[in-house]
Amino acid sequence: MINIEMKNARELNMVIKKIVFVGLLGLVGVALSACESDKGTTLQDSLTTDNTVDTISNLDFGNSVIPFPNNILFLDALGQPPADGTLNIPVDDPADLSNPAVAMNALDGFSTVAPISTGFTGAVDDASFPAGVRLYEVTLTGGAVTSVDRMLAYGTEFVGALSSVDSTSSTLAMLPLQPLKPKQAYMAVVTNGVKSAGGRPVGISGSYSLTHGLNPLHTGGISNTPLLTDAQAQQLEPLRQATVVAESSLNAFDGTESADIIISWNFTTQSTTEVLEAVRTVNIAATQSAGFLPTASAKSPLGAADIHVGVVIVPYYLTKSDTASSPSNDPTALGSCWNVAGAAPPTCATGPHPSQYNPTPISTAPAAIPMMVSIPKTSTACTGMPTSGWPVVIYQHGITTNRTTMLAVADSMAAACIAVVAIDMPMHGVTGDETNGTEAFKNPVGNGGERTFDLDLVTQDADGNITAAVPDGVIDTSGRHFINLTNLLNTRDNVRQAVADLFVIADAI
């Protein structure tokens, strides 16, 4: 459930516009004509208070309280979908990249694993959820549900639970037990099978009643209810028509009656592979560095493996910090994210962002990233390189370590006649301040430098804890800026860049 604060009557009208799916009148007009004659009650009858319930669904257009996720949040304040197909969740400051809602607005849909939630005006009984909570795969046409295709299995594919962050027991969380399909439209439905804590069926809210009945909200532009102005009734009428078509589609699928539905909404999940698939196509064509496997040096003292160092050139989709001086106080790398080409220079705040509709990000520059390779020595355990070449393991270190942790497994891999290749994740690397011997592996700036850009933006103690948000003249530890809470898109794209780099390594091998 999401609550979008409104400050005045003009914003109410803008929010009502936001919930109207543009172009639905033509789509649903024919479908409605077959349904109108079946409804015998008037609009005022449908809005009569039901004294048999003590809790109702908490849908309140007047206060911008809606279930979440919700396809309403694709539309801007004028009811228009974004040009790049990404979300349009209202935010106070679109430039505040620490706000999760701002980061979500770079996505082309909602999570495939996050909870789906809606609220009630009072406590509800979670034991009743199996009888009244449903989730369907649906087909959308012009934003409206025109076909219900499959019901997800309760208890196997999802469950309903009381939200753990609501102490009043008045929020339903629908929890996927396995990831939802990407790029798939879903319809969430709650029926009067859900009971209040007092054992009564949960009732329908006034807002849902407005968009739930078969009777038009206006006649010739004149509102049919004192609850709405003429303009508001005209703005909500397409949503009412879309809701009726959706409920009619549901009735045709499994017989669910409109009278039993207390709230329903639809949402579409995000794409999950398109951007990385596009990047892989680009990256596997990247030029291999001449230093990928340098000439063997003197035998390594480490035992079973010889250690080689070099660099590999990869396309870089983030922005580098200035490394003209070391340590560097340039925070540029922390303000970047993946973007695609647009009419104006792209930014993290404005986009355009990579999505299923435009998946290939802009490569800002090639990057020479340091690499370590271990090659087995001839031994009784490994008598030499196989005729087909060395089997290779690509080693990926954990967050806040670096590529040199590969040394811990190099000997055991060599004993099995396996070579190991290791690179750093973005914003990781050797600082030169290590005291375990690995400081000798620091890659000089003239050879591409380290992926940390030798940043010094904070003061840290001996354990790596930040003690002050100012430079201290010492390069910040490996991975200190990988998880960037000031720019959540930067954090996401650091992970993406790590995957993109591995595409290059795997193809080069």
Residue 93 gets which letter from DSSP?
-
Residue 225, CA distances (Å) to 92, 217, 252 in order: 33, 7, 30
What is the 3-state composition of the chain as percent helix, strand, coil, each rounded to the nearest 5?
25, 20, 50
357 shares a domain with 405: yes
**In the prediction, which pLDDT does 155 show?**
98
Looking at residue 198, its pLDDT comes to 93
Give the pLDDT score at 36.
36
Query: Same structural domain for residues 456 and 393?
Result: yes
Residues 286 and 240 in one domain: no
Amino acid at 240: R
> Which uninterrupted H or E stretch holds 176?
strand 171-176
Residue 13 shares a structural domain with residue 107: yes
Separate counts of helices (H) and strands (E) for the chain? 10, 17
With a CB cutoff of 8 Å and minimum separation 6, the contacts of 430 are 370, 402, 403, 404, 438, 439, 441, 442, 443, 450, 478
Q: Are residues 388 and 404 in the same domain?
A: yes
- Is 132 in the same domain as 226? yes
Q: Give the total number of structural domains in the chain.
A: 2
Report the 10 Å Cβ neighbour count for 113: 11
283 and 257 in a common domain: no
Instruction: Output the pLDDT for position 80.
Output: 74
Same domain, 239 and 279: no
Residue 333 and residue 241 share a domain: no
The DSSP code for 213 is: S
CB 138 within 8 Å of CB 187: yes
Q: Are residues 416 and 478 in the same domain?
A: yes
In terms of domains, do 62 and 9 share one? Answer: yes
What does the alpha-carbon distance between residue 107 and residue 77 come to, in Å, rounded to a whole number? 18
Angle between helices 230-254 and 24-33 (to 10 degrees): 60
The domain boundary residue, chosen from 224, 239, 268? 268
Domain C-terminal end among 244, 268, 292: 268
Would you give the end-to-end CA distance of the chain in angstroms? 48
**Residue 62 belongs to domain spanning:** 2-268
Tokens, residue 314: 């990869």
Question: Among residues 251, 268, 285, which one ends one of the domains?
Answer: 268
Please tell me the distance from the alpha carbon of residue 464 to that of residue 483, in angstroms, as a whole number. 15
- In this prediction, the residues of the chain whose per-residue pLDDT falls under 50 are 4-49, 290, 293, 295-296, 298
- What pairing do the DSSP bridges indicate for beta strands 459-460 and 365-376? unpaired
Q: Which two tokens stand for residue 431?
A: 């600082």
pLDDT computed for residue 408 by the predictor? 94
Structure tokens that stand for 409 in this block: 């497994």
* pLDDT in the model for residue 51: 54
248 and 319 fall within a common domain: no
